[in-house]
């Protein structure tokens, strides 16, 4: 553990505020400890109000110069950052595992996701295209161009402490913006390590202030960012409750927000589904990251004809899941991130019977492991009317709900407040297309014959309803990090007005 930490330049105590350089702070010290065994990983001095003010002032000042650097040159810096992340993939992946508890292949996969989006952003740096339009006026030319927006506030959650930062920051950086990052207080060391990689790469260009960091202990800094007029766009990932607060504060000053909030993702398993695809898809989706992905499968909607087979095969697979130290080979599920998460798991389990469900597998905290944060992956026999299944519990609980036909299944899929990800397993193209149609899944992501999680960076990531409506990562998400300017040029000798208006 110590080797990993020191290879990433982490000390026993680390500064938690970086603007143009390290910003000194008299803030409280935050202890980062591993959910694996409770061991202290390091300490971080949180940003106090003065440090925060300095960081944002620096980020704004750096923006004023960074925006003038040609976009492909900005891409060049991002390429070097991507390469530096490649070099540190193993140690950073291990740090992610140590700090939040996901298994090592997933920790490394998350760093790969950051590398992938860096690559994407490099290409994008030469493709920040605007459209040109045909003017209705003679000798006029119209086009739109995309300019850098300003300081982007990036508030990230514990569960993807590297990838979600990268989705936002790599894109923002090529767009000519600077980034103020507030990581989760559960994963500050990952943020400090990544930030120092970015800064050391950016140093040679004199632009290390493109990537700044404020570590806080509690919601205060997030609130400060949300109401800060110097931050024109705030991208926030986390709970619906947090997102509502951010949206209100950003909306109050008419800023822009990109929200990626709770999910309550379902897979529909039709009676013709290929179980060889269903099993690995649902297993990874429901149990991966110990059920702590926004995209985790929380509900399996299973055709009544195959309900018993599904449950039997799934419980058989669950029985084989090795729970334990996520750094050990063969372990598929590490701990939950905190005692609060364990309490939320227990509270949900406690409601199952009261709401008419029953536990088919699991339901217990695992004793005898290195910390009290390990829980059993759980399968629940449920029905669509249960209140519990409409809520997102950030834990590995899979509600298995029967249905009779595809219309009922789609209604169940959509019958929750959240709208992030969804999937259907079927070999029937008509049914698949119905699920994907305008009257089908209402989610931001809809898959066929794969699970709901593990999205690639190339698509826009996010969802509707209580998920917040934001889109990050690939496709044209970059547009939110820029301001659009529509330009009309008159190269003639007359001054015609639009809409044929004759004035005077």
Active-site residue (options: 208, 260, 376, 472):
260
Q: What is the rounded distance in angstroms from the CA atom of residue 469 to the CA atom of residue 260?
A: 7
| Shortest distance, position 170 Cβ to ligand UN1, whole Å | 14
Catalytic status, residue 204: no
| Shortest distance, position 392 Cβ to ligand UN1, whole Å | 11
List Cα–Cα distances, 301 to 269, 424, 434, in angstroms.
6, 9, 16
Between 148 and 444, CB nearer to ligand UN1: 444
Q: What is the rounded distance in angstroms from the CA atom of residue 206 to the CA atom of residue 202?
A: 6
Binding site for ligand UN1 (CB under 6 A): 113, 159-160, 163-164, 237, 293-295, 453-455
Burial 197-211 (b: 16+ CB within 10 A, else e): bbbebbeeeebbbbb
Q: What is the rounded distance in angstroms from the CA atom of residue 200 to the CA atom of residue 88?
A: 13
Angle at 30 between CA 185 and CA 235, to 5 degrees: 25
| Shortest distance, position 473 Cβ to ligand UN1, whole Å | 8
Between 112 and 212, CB nearer to ligand UN1: 112
Residue 25 burial by Cβ neighbours in a 10 Å radius (0-12, 13-18, 19+): buried
Residues recorded for the chain: 504
Q: Do 467 and 419 meet the contact criterion of CB atoms below 8 Å apart?
A: yes
Between 153 and 288, CB nearer to ligand UN1: 288
Catalytic status, residue 240: no
Q: HSE on the CB side for 246, CA within 13 Å?
A: 29
Residue 147 burial by Cβ neighbours in a 10 Å radius (0-12, 13-18, 19+): middle
Between 25 and 257, CB nearer to ligand UN1: 257
Q: What is the rounded distance in angstroms from the CA atom of residue 318 to the CA atom of residue 328?
A: 18
Q: What is the rounded distance in angstroms from the CA atom of residue 122 to the CA atom of residue 2?
A: 33
| Shortest distance, position 480 Cβ to ligand UN1, whole Å | 17
Between 58 and 113, CB nearer to ligand UN1: 113
| Shortest distance, position 176 Cβ to ligand UN1, whole Å | 25
Active-site residue (options: 175, 198, 233, 294):
294
| Shortest distance, position 315 Cβ to ligand UN1, whole Å | 24
Between 125 and 473, CB nearer to ligand UN1: 473
Interaxial angle between packed helices 104-124 and 89-100, expressed in degrees from 0 to 180 and rounded to the nearest 10: 120
Q: To which H or E segment does residue 284 belong?
A: helix 275-287
Q: Do 271 and 265 meet the contact criterion of CB atoms below 8 Å apart?
A: no
| Shortest distance, position 110 Cβ to ligand UN1, whole Å | 8
Q: Do 203 and 18 meet the contact criterion of CB atoms below 8 Å apart?
A: no
- DSSP letters spanning 55-122: HHHHHHHHHHHHTTS-HHHHHHHHHHHHHHHHHTHHHHHHHHHHHH---HHHHHHHHHHHHHHHHHHH
Between 210 and 397, CB nearer to ligand UN1: 397
| Shortest distance, position 462 Cβ to ligand UN1, whole Å | 10
Between 263 and 402, CB nearer to ligand UN1: 263
Residue 67 burial by Cβ neighbours in a 10 Å radius (0-12, 13-18, 19+): middle
Active-site residue numbers? Answer: 260, 294
């Amino acid at each position: 553990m110590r080797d990993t930490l020191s290879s990433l330049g982490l000390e026993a105590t680390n500064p938690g505020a970086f603007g143009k350089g390290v910003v000194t702070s008299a803030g409280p010290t935050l202890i980062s400890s591993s959910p694996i065994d409770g061991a202290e990983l390091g300490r971080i001095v949180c940003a106090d109000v003065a440090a925060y003010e300095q960081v944002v002032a620096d980020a704004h000042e750096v923006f004023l110069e960074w925006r003038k650097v040609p976009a492909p040159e900005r891409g060049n810096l991002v390429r070097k950052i991507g390469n530096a992340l490649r070099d540190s993939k193993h140690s950073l992946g291990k740090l992610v595992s140590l700090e939040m508890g996901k298994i090592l292949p997933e920790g490394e996969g998350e760093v790969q996701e950051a590398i992938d989006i860096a690559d994407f952003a490099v290409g994008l740096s030469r493709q920040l295209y605007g459209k040109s339009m045909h003017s209705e006026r003679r000798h006029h030319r119209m086009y739109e161009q995309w300019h850098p927006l300003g300081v982007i506030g990036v508030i990230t959650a514990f569960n993807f402490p590297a990838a979600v930062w990268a989705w936002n920051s790599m894109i923002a950086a090529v767009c000519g913006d600077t980034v103020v990052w507030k990581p989760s207080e559960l994963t500050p060391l990952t943020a400090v390590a990544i930030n120092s990689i970015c800064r050391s790469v950016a140093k040679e260009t004199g632009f290390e202030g493109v990537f700044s960091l404020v570590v806080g202990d509690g919601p205060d800094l997030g609130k400060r960012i949300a109401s800060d007029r110097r931050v024109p766009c705030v991208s926030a990932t986390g709970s619906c409750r947090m997102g509502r607060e951010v949206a209100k504060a950003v909306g109050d000053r008419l800023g822009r927000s990109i929200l990626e909030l709770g999910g309550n993702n379902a897979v529909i398993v039709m009676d013709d589904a290929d179980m060889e695809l269903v099993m690995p898809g649902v297993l990874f989706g429901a149990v991966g990251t110990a059920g702590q992905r926004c995209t985790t499968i929380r509900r399996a909607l299973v055709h009544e004809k195959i309900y018993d087979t599904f449950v039997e095969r799934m419980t058989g697979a669950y029985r084989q899941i090795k729970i334990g130290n996520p750094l050990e080979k063969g372990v598929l599920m590490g701990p939950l991130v905190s005692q609060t998460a364990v309490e939320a798991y227990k509270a949900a389990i406690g409601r199952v019977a009261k709401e008419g469900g029953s536990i088919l597998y699991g339901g217990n905290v695992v004793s005898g492991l290195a910390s009290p944060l390990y829980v059993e992956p759980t399968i629940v026999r449920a029905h669509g009317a249960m209140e519990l299944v409409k809520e997102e519990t950030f834990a590995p609980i899979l509600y298995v709900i029967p249905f009779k036909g595809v219309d009922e299944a789609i209604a169940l899929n959509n019958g929750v407040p959240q709208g992030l990800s969804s999937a259907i397993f079927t070999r029937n193209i008509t049914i698949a297309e119905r699920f994907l149609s305008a009257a089908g899944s209402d989610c931001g992501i809809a898959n066929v014959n794969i699970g709901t999680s593990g999205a690639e960076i190339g698509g826009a990531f996010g969802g509707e309803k209580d998920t917040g409506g934001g889109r990050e990562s690939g496709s044209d998400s970059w547009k939110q990090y820029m301001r659009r300017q529509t330009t009309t040029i008159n190269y003639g000798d007359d001054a015609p007005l639009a809409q044929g208006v004759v004035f005077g």
